[in-house]
């Protein structure tokens, strides 16, 4: 079955530590996205990528980094510079179109120890 897989489901970060969230899709989608969701709030875009080896900052990119070495994979690193990393992180993918439907992974809940 085609889909988008995020791991791990839960992740704990110590102070000063970098952590990486995994996102893999086998839908052959060109575009991939990372969103952050805080309780009671909508999704905010962190980074997005439309093509391999290229990505752009979203609205809240500070303290995060990404790579897009393969079409299927778009890992997100939460660096120590992100001072408030506790949130629900969602990865999504889509085709490139003006009326695109987003397919989401099941999310990673990141908490600080």
For the window 81-100, what string marks contact with another protein as x by the rule CB under 8 A? -------x-x-----xxxxx
Residue 69 as a binder of another protein (CB under 8 A): the answer is no
> Contact with another protein (CB under 8 A): which of 7, 17, 26, 106?
106
| 48 binds another protein, rule: CB under 8 A | yes
In the 8-state DSSP scheme, what is residue 102?
P
Q: Is the dihedral of CA 31, 108, 36, 74 positive or negative?
A: negative
Asked if residues 32 and 55 have their Cβ atoms less than 8 Å apart, the reply is no
From the list 22-30, 61-69, 74-82, 102-110, the region that binds another protein by CB under 8 A is 102-110
CA–CA dist 106, 90 (Å, integer)? 7
- Residue 11 contacts another protein per CB under 8 A: no
Number of residues that bind another protein (CB under 8 A): 23
**In the structure encoding, which two tokens stand for residue 104, read together?**
């989401």
CA distance 51 to 1: 23
**What number of other Cβ atoms are within 10 A of residue 70's Cβ?**
10
* Residue of 41, 62, 69, 111 that binds another protein (CB under 8 A): 41
What residues make contact with another protein under the rule CB under 8 A?
35, 40-45, 48, 58, 88, 90, 96-102, 104-107, 109
């Amino acid at each position: 079955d085609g889909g988008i897989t995020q791991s791990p489901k839960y992740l704990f970060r110590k102070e000063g530590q970098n952590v990486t969230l995994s996102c893999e899709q086998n839908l052959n989608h060109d575009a991939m996205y990372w969103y952050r969701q805080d309780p009671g709030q909508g999704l905010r875009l962190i980074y997005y990528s439309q093509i391999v080896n290229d990505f752009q900052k979203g609205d809240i990119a500070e303290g995060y980094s990404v790579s897009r070495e393969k079409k299927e994979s778009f890992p997100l690193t939460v660096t120590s510079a992100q001072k408030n990393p506790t949130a629900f992180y969602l990865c999504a993918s889509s085709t490139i179109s003006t009326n695109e439907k987003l397919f989401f992974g099941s999310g990673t809940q990141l908490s600080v120890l």
